[in-house]
Amino acid sequence: MKSLWSFLWTRSSVRHDRWRRSLWTQVPSMPACEYLCPTYKGPDYDEVVKLKGTFLNPVLVTHFSQPLLIHDGHMQWLFDHTGKRYLDLFGGIVTVSVGHCHPKVLAAATEQLNKLWHTTNIYLHPKIHEYAQRLAEKLPADLNVVYFVNSGSEANDLAMMMARLYTGNFDIISLRNSYHGASPYTAGLTAQGTWKYNFANGFGIHNAINPDPYRGLWGGHRDSPVQSVRSNESEVVDGVCSSTQKYIDQLQEVLMYSLPKGKLAAFFAESIQGVGGTVQYPLGYLKKAFELVRSHGGLCVSDEVQTGFGRTGEHFWGFEGHGVVPDIVTMAKGMGNGFPIAAVVTTSAVAKTMSQALHFNTFGGNPVASAVGVSVLEVLEEEKTQEKALEVGTYFLHSLAKLREEYPVVGDVRGKGLMIGMEMVQDSTSRTPLSPHLMMQIWDTCKDHGVLLGKGGFHGNVFRIKPPMCINRDDVDFTVTVLRQALQPTNLL
What is the reported pLDDT for 383? Answer: 98
Q: Which residues contact 261 (CB under 8 A, 6 or more apart)?
A: none
User: SS3 of 223, please?
Assistant: coil
Q: Containing domain of residue 128, as a range?
A: 106-382
- C-alpha dihedral over 245, 250, 254, 257, to 10 degrees? 110
Distance of alpha carbon 484 from alpha carbon 482, whole angstroms = 5
Q: Which residues contact 104 (CB under 8 A, 6 or more apart)?
A: 375, 378, 379, 382
What is the reported pLDDT for 354? Answer: 94
Distance of alpha carbon 276 from alpha carbon 174, whole angstroms = 13
Buried b (16+ CB within 10 A) or exposed e, 167-183: bebbbbbbbbbbbbbbb
Determine how many CB atoms are found less than 10 A away from the CB of residue 361: 16
Q: How many helices (H) does the chain have, and how many strands (E)?
A: 14, 17
Cβ atoms of 456 and 442 closer than 8 Å = no
Has residue 111 been placed in a domain?
yes
Has residue 314 been placed in a domain?
yes
What is the reported pLDDT for 201? Answer: 87
Has residue 405 been placed in a domain?
no
Closest CA to 452 of 98, 68, 170, 110: 68
- H-helix or E-strand containing 345? strand 342-346
What is the reported pLDDT for 262? Answer: 84
Integer Rg of the chain from CA: 23
Has residue 2 been placed in a domain?
no
Distance of alpha carbon 279 from alpha carbon 213, whole angstroms = 8
How is 366-433 classified by DSSP, letter by letter? -HHHHHHHHHHHHHHHHTTHHHHHHHHHHHHHHHHHHHHHH-TTEEEEEEETTEEEEEEBS-TTT-PB
What is the reported pLDDT for 428? Answer: 85
What is the reported pLDDT for 150? Answer: 97
> What is the DSSP pairing of strand 454-456 with strand 462-465?
antiparallel
Looking up residue 283, the CATH number of its domain turns out to be 3.40.640.10
Q: Which residues contact 332 (CB under 8 A, 6 or more apart)?
A: 151, 152, 155, 305, 341, 342, 343
Query: What is the count of structural domains for the chain?
Result: 1
Total count of residues recorded for the chain: 493
pLDDT tens-place values along the chain, 493 residues long: 345 455 554 543 444 454 444 444 466 789 999 999 999 999 999 999 999 999 999 999 999 999 999 999 999 999 999 999 999 999 999 999 999 999 999 999 999 999 999 998 899 999 999 999 999 999 999 999 999 999 999 999 999 999 999 999 999 999 999 999 999 999 999 999 999 999 888 999 999 999 999 999 999 999 999 999 999 999 999 999 999 999 999 999 999 999 998 899 999 999 999 999 999 999 999 999 999 999 999 999 999 999 999 999 999 999 999 999 999 999 999 999 999 999 999 999 999 999 999 999 999 999 999 999 999 999 999 999 999 999 999 999 999 999 999 999 999 999 999 999 999 999 888 999 999 999 999 999 999 999 999 999 999 999 999 999 999 999 999 999 999 999 987 543 3
Has residue 55 been placed in a domain?
no
Has residue 170 been placed in a domain?
yes
Has residue 395 been placed in a domain?
no
Has residue 401 been placed in a domain?
no
